[in-house]
Amino acid sequence: MTATMTQCLLRLVEEHHTLADYQGDVVPRWCAGCGDNAILAAMQRLCRDEQLPPEKTVFVSGIGCSSRLPHYMHAYGFHGVHGRALPVAEGVRLRRPDLHIFVTTGDGDCCSIGAAHWIHAIRYNMNMTVLLHDNQIYGLTKKQVSPTSPRGLKSNTTPRGAYLNPLNPLTVTLGVSNVSFVAQAVDWIPDLLYDIIAEAHRHHGLGFVRILQRCPEFMDHRFDEAVRDPSKTRILVHGDGLRLKPELSRIYHNKEVHDPLDMPRALAIAALEDEIPVGILYKNPAVPCYEDVREAERPNTPDLIRTVLDEEFDKVTIWPDEQEPPAAAE
Amino acid sequence: MSTQVKEVGAGAAKHRQARQSKSDSTPRSRPALLLDENIIEIVSDSGEGAQRCGQSFAAIAARMGNGIWTVQIIPAEIQPPHRSIAGASGNRVRIAAHRVTNGGDEADLVVAFNEQVLLGRLRAGEIRPGGIILLESMWRDDKDPEIAAAYARVCEEVRSAGYRLYEVPMEAECVKHVPDPRRGKNMFALGMLCGIYSLDVELARSQVRFVFAKKDPKIIDANIELLDAGRAWAEANLDLKFAIPATRPKEPQVVMNGNAALALGVVASGMEVCSMYPITPATSASHYLSDIFDKVGCVVHQAEDEIAACTFAIGASYAGKCAVTITSGPGLSLKQEALGLAVMGEIPLVVVDVQRGGPSTGQPTKPEQSDLLAACFGGHGDAPKVVMAVSSIEDCFYSLITARKIAETFNMVVVVLSDASLATAQQPFPRPSFSEGWLAPPVDQSAVPEGAKPYDWDPQTGIAARFIPGQPGGMHCLTGLAHDRFSHVAYDPAVNQEGIRQRARKLATLQATLKTPPLYGGEEGELLLIGWGSTRGAIEEAVDMLRGKKKRVSSMHLKFLQPMASGIGEVMRRFDKVMTVENNWSDTLDDEIADKQSQRFTNLGWLLRAHYLVDVTCWGQVRGQPMKPGAVVEAALTRLGRK
């Protein structure tokens, strides 16, 4: 059946999605000033700009403030158990190359209870975008230290200050075999946040974006200095990475041209202590994706199942009139 | 080295003597005793090939048309010390003129490669008093005087205990044929057993060819030479000659173990993803599945841990590719939170649990029916799951097909319980003939109707249509939080009440379709034995034995443990006494640790007592052994009070 030009045009209009098409029917219940709002806005913008069909887009999360994000999108969402967003997303991805998959997770969800899955997800390198909402604190359970909390932070479980140095999600991620995309964004520069998530989404493989995020409720003023003083933010730019718009260029002078394939430099940038790097630290599209490696050579049809079962049964069948067992196992 | 064959002990000469069967092509020098059945064990140090010997022996007998059941004898360690009591590795083979459903009681004949592994089996009470022992004799002249003395001591012990001991120079005989006798002794032993039990020569040779099919032809020839040598040696030197009548099956039969049947069941169910983490004794199912699943375009994913294995499977199922995760006790414990999520989100999922001894690491290689309550009630909150158990090798295959169908019909978690005894036991069953009806229809990706809700629970069944990613109009956020029909997080008390009721309703809907399990034995009587899972064969054999003694004993075996079929309560009330039989712990009243107030019951005991308010007593053991019919008979007689 052929469609007329008018029908095609009508269809185009029908299928054109506006920002509202990605807004869930639940009003976000994050605190005013929470960085999660910026991430949600960037996500909805990205979905619209990329025209991702809502029915083909899946947001998978664990537990925590960050993990409420799927409820606020108009798409398929999976708000699961604490720490396990990544393996759920991997299972979704395995046989569904047609879906766009985003994982929203927090510093507790990803770097603490789900740390094992985080390491292995990087190694599997399945095609999805992972947003680590890192506010360096447990918010939903009311102020306990997280693995990324700064040393000395007073919280409900560390009333005399956090005992240990924080874990650095960037260096950890960069250290895992098969890492293919690592970036860092901050919630207070929304344009770059958007650009970086968009790059991660376009990357074929696991795009890991750590987003430094403000928690006005429990970590107020944590990033005040960085927000106030642009020189504390080092923007990573490259022809094959982030390009800074002129209006941002005027504010952020602390720039570094960084080739996203340069792993030693990426590790050095990730380890910076007095500046916040923003941009793409590492990008290597040549790393294979697990779902591609495991792609079926043939579809699982009834005939194929019958054939394979019969082959296997043949190896262990006693036939009523048998004189000999089957000639060989293979 | 002594090559003399010594026989001591009167032995059991209770068998009828008869002529050899006509089809047997062994030399007719000696008439064979015709037996109805026999239990044979072959044990060695790990790595000496006793398991391969036993499995081949069983396969040859099965091909001849004998009923068989094999039980693997597995040391718990990868490299147990040589010549140690705990290191016995091998196989028990029960061969009969009829169908066999379990490994039986005590072995009639044992082949041992050293006296320590023999001692292991004797101490465990696995050898019949007066039974026949064929023992490698090389240790008698070992250059280590301690070994030689230990050997002599054990020989003395078994002789004085009345066993018929034959010292066999296996290694010395093998050296005549191959340079490294340690690597071929098992085939020599197989030859001896084929000679003793009058198994078909050509079938035996072709079985060896089959076993070594992937090896160099020279290796095949060497092993056949050893097989023939073993047989010739037994014919010339042993006064043992038995025959167990065999009837060729009328329909094709397949022989495999329970875990292989589980793996083939996964393929036959049409499930596309198996996500697992290595754990004994479940893993061999995944090994086999890994070998064949690619061929049907499917994936075995070895996840980073048990929780990831379960959540990965949940993700795949959520995306429309129904998945199975295969595990064992500790793995089931780890998966519990994720299973609760699948229940809450109403995601179909099949969980196979090949149970082992617990708690904690417990007895990884040994059978126990340890996880029934964990499967039913392991997670927090009210999380109705379907729990079913397999009771034979054939059942392992078909249950996976049923499990997937239930999972996808009701959008529920279905736990299939097997155990370590079925995992490695082999038994023939009719060759399945594939049916497309086993598979599920393709995933629905059509647009959902306007206004449809993701959890629009049907008022009659509690079932809601599932919206799968890709379906236009079906967008919603699945959540493990309490939710309403729109999948919106519930803040209203009535919503949580409603959601939990609807998920419970699905279990009730399934329950209404279940038939009362049939009785084995009589419809009423003095004692009803109730079991589940792998113990079926042993319990039913025990019922036969008890009814042979004119005891009015019957048994009922449960396939569905949650929900349980209607009518079970009425059946129980037709018997004077009801007793569960399980490989599980129960306090007993003759033990000082318990009285009527404090007594704890077996897994099934708790369930039946709670469901039916019947004063069910429990008989259980946690000895890490497959259930034995003789033990069930003893327990039943004690319960009847007229032992």
Torsion sign, CA atoms B94, B96, B102, B107: negative
pLDDT the model gives residue B18: 36
Torsion sign, CA atoms A222, A228, A231, A233: positive
- Residue A94 included in any domain: yes
pLDDT digits (tens, 9 = 90+) for B183-242: 889 999 999 999 999 999 999 999 999 999 889 999 999 999 999 999 999 999 999 999
Q: Please check whether residue B206 touches A, CB under 8 A.
A: yes
The partner residue sitting opposite A71, judged by closest CB among B317, B472, B489, is: B489
pLDDT confidence tier of residue B25, bands split at 50, 70 and 90 = very low
Q: Please check whether residue B401 touches A, CB under 8 A.
A: no
Does A78 sit within 8 Å of B318, measured CB to CB?
yes
Q: How far apart are CA B528 and CA B543, in angstroms?
A: 10
Q: Please check whether residue A60 touches B, CB under 8 A.
A: yes
pLDDT the model gives residue B478: 98
Contact A93, B318 (CB under 8 A): no
Q: Which of B210, B267, B296, B431 has the most A C-beta neighbours within 10 Å, making it the best mutation to test the interface with A?
A: B296
ipTM for the predicted complex = 0.95
**Which residues on chain B are in Cβ contact (under 8 Å) with A81?**
311, 337-338, 340-341, 480
Q: Please check whether residue A24 touches B, CB under 8 A.
A: yes
pLDDT the model gives residue B57: 97
H-only helix segments in B270-345: 283-293, 306-318, 329-345
Does A120 sit within 8 Å of B308, measured CB to CB?
yes
**Is the per-residue pLDDT at B481 higher than 80?**
yes
Does A91 sit within 8 Å of B213, measured CB to CB?
no
Q: HSE (CB half, 13 Å, CA atoms) of B464?
A: 24
Q: Find the residue in B nearest to A98 (Cα).
A: B470
Does B296 sit within 8 Å of A308, measured CB to CB?
yes
Structure tokens at B603: 């897994």
Give the A window 76-105 contacts with B, CB below 8 Å: 76-81, 84, 87-96, 98-99
Does B305 sit within 8 Å of A91, measured CB to CB?
no
Q: How many CB pairs under 8 A join A and B?
A: 225
- Residue A255 included in any domain: yes
The partner residue sitting opposite B469, judged by closest CB among A24, A96, A326, is: A96
pLDDT the model gives residue A325: 52
pLDDT the model gives residue A323: 52
pLDDT the model gives residue B36: 97
pLDDT the model gives residue B26: 47
* Interstrand relation of B164-168 and A276-283 (parallel, antiparallel or unpaired): unpaired
Token pair 């290694």 is at which residue?
B171
Token pair 């060759």 is at which residue?
B431
* Interstrand relation of A317-318 and B164-168 (parallel, antiparallel or unpaired): unpaired
**Which residues on chain B are in Cβ contact (under 8 Å) with A88?**
311-312, 314-315, 318
Residue predicted with more confidence, B86 or B581: B581
Beta-carbon contacts of residue A246 (< 8 Å; ≥ 6 apart): none
- Chain B: give the shortest CA distance to residue A214, in Å: 25
Residue A79 sits in a domain of what CATH number?
Answer: 3.40.50.970
Give the A window 37-56 contacts with B, CB below 8 Å: 53-56
- The CA–CA distances, whole Å, from B407 to B347, B349, B388, B415, B507 equal 8, 6, 12, 9, 11
Does A305 sit within 8 Å of B268, measured CB to CB?
yes
- Chain A: give the shortest CA distance to residue B275, in Å: 9
Average pLDDT over residues B492-512: 96
Residue by residue, what is the 3-state secondary structure of B120-168? Answer: HHHHCCCEEEEEEEEEECHHHHCCCHHHHHHHHHHHHHHHHCCCEEEEE
- Number of Cβ within 10 Å of residue B439's Cβ equals 19
Residue at B237: amino acid letter = N
Does B213 sit within 8 Å of A120, measured CB to CB?
no
Does A317 sit within 8 Å of B252, measured CB to CB?
yes
Q: Please check whether residue B272 touches A, CB under 8 A.
A: yes
The range of the structural domain enclosing residue A23 comes to 17-287
pLDDT digits (tens, 9 = 90+) for A171-230: 999 999 999 999 999 999 999 999 999 999 999 999 999 999 999 999 999 999 999 999
**Is the per-residue pLDDT at B626 higher than 80?**
yes
pLDDT the model gives residue A6: 61
Contact B50, B91 (CB under 8 A): yes
Give the B window 296-355 contacts with A, CB below 8 Å: 296-299, 301, 303-305, 307-309, 311-321, 323, 337-338, 340-341, 345
Residue at B526: amino acid letter = E
| Cα Rg, chain B, nearest whole Å | 27
Contact A68, A30 (CB under 8 A): yes
Across the beta sheet with A255-257, the strand order is A255-257, A233-237, A276-283, A181-186, A206-212, A128-134, A100-106, A57-61, A76-79, B477-479
Contact A279, A254 (CB under 8 A): no
pLDDT digits (tens, 9 = 90+) for B302-351: 999 999 999 999 999 999 999 999 999 999 999 999 999 999 999 999 99
- Residue A307 included in any domain: no
pLDDT the model gives residue A8: 57
pLDDT digits (tens, 9 = 90+) for B108-161: 999 999 999 999 999 999 999 999 999 999 999 999 999 999 999 999 999 999
**Is the per-residue pLDDT at B606 higher than 90?**
yes
- Residue A137 included in any domain: yes
Average pLDDT over residues B247-256: 92
Going from the N-terminus, what domains does chain B have, and what CATH number goes with each? 7-243 (3.40.920.10), 254-438 (3.40.50.970), 519-640 (3.40.50.920)
Q: Can you count the helices (H) and strands (E) in chain A?
A: 12, 12
Q: How far apart are CA B391 and CA B299, in angstroms?
A: 27
pLDDT digits (tens, 9 = 90+) for B61-96: 999 999 999 999 988 677 788 999 989 999 999 999
CA distance from start to end of chain A: 49
- Chain B: give the shortest CA distance to residue A26, in Å: 8
- DSSP assignment string, A248-311: HHHH---EEE--TT-HHHHHHHHT-SSSEEEEEEEE-TTSPPHHHHT--SS---HHHHHHHHHH
Q: How far apart are CA B231 and CA B201, in angstroms?
A: 9
Q: How far apart are CA B134 and CA B168, in angstroms?
A: 6
A40 alpha-carbon distance from chain centroid: 13
Give the B window 63-92 contacts with A, CB below 8 Å: 63, 65
pLDDT confidence tier of residue B491, bands split at 50, 70 and 90 = confident
**Which residues on chain B are in Cβ contact (under 8 Å) with A93?**
315, 319
Does A80 sit within 8 Å of B480, measured CB to CB?
yes
Token pair 């109730």 is at which residue?
B530
**SS3 of B412, please?**
coil
Residue predicted with more confidence, B7 or A162: A162
The partner residue sitting opposite A87, judged by closest CB among B308, B345, B469, is: B308
Task: Report whether the peptide linkage leading into residue B442 is cis, meaning its omega lies within 30 degrees of zero.
Answer: no
- Residue A148 included in any domain: yes
Low pLDDT (below 70) residues in chain A: 1-14, 322-330
pLDDT the model gives residue A15: 77
**Is the per-residue pLDDT at B257 higher than 90?**
yes
> What percentage of chain B exceeds 70 in pLDDT?
95
Task: Report whether the peptide linkage leading into residue B129 is cis, meaning its omega lies within 30 degrees of zero.
Answer: no
**Which residues on chain A are in Cβ contact (under 8 Å) with B252?**
317-320
**Is the per-residue pLDDT at B47 higher than 70?**
yes
Does A312 sit within 8 Å of B312, measured CB to CB?
no
Give the B window 445-484 contacts with A, CB below 8 Å: 467, 469-481
pLDDT the model gives residue B3: 41
Does B318 sit within 8 Å of A70, measured CB to CB?
no
- Answer whether 0.90 is exceeded by the pTM: yes
Q: How far apart are CA B532 and CA B178, in angstroms?
A: 48
pLDDT the model gives residue A4: 58
Token pair 């991620």 is at which residue?
A173
- The CA–CA distances, whole Å, from B69 to A23, A329, B58, B61 equal 62, 22, 8, 10
Residue at A39: amino acid letter = I
Contact B511, B566 (CB under 8 A): yes
Does B298 sit within 8 Å of A92, measured CB to CB?
no
Q: Please check whether residue A310 touches B, CB under 8 A.
A: yes
Beta-carbon contacts of residue A298 (< 8 Å; ≥ 6 apart): A304, B296, B297
Q: How far apart are CA B514 and CA B536, in angstroms?
A: 19
**Is the per-residue pLDDT at B264 higher than 80?**
yes
Provide the number of structural domains found in chain A.
1
Q: Please check whether residue A17 touches B, CB under 8 A.
A: no
pLDDT the model gives residue B441: 87
Average pLDDT over residues B24-38: 75
- Residue A311 included in any domain: no
**SS3 of B271, please?**
coil
Q: Please check whether residue B207 touches A, CB under 8 A.
A: yes
Residue by residue, what is the 3-state secondary structure of B312-332? Answer: HHHHHHHCCCCEEEEECHHHH
pLDDT the model gives residue A241: 83
The partner residue sitting opposite B341, judged by closest CB among A80, A94, A296, is: A80
- Residue A292 included in any domain: no
The partner residue sitting opposite B475, judged by closest CB among A74, A299, A302, is: A74
**Which residues on chain B are in Cβ contact (under 8 Å) with A116?**
304-305, 308
Q: Please check whether residue B62 touches A, CB under 8 A.
A: yes
- Number of Cβ within 10 Å of residue B130's Cβ equals 16
The partner residue sitting opposite A87, judged by closest CB among B214, B256, B312, is: B312
The partner residue sitting opposite B255, judged by closest CB among A59, A302, A316, is: A316
Structure tokens at B279: 């754990």
- Residue A276 included in any domain: yes
Torsion sign, CA atoms A165, A168, A174, A177: positive
Structure tokens at B88: 């016995």
B452 alpha-carbon distance from chain centroid: 45
Q: Please check whether residue A14 touches B, CB under 8 A.
A: no
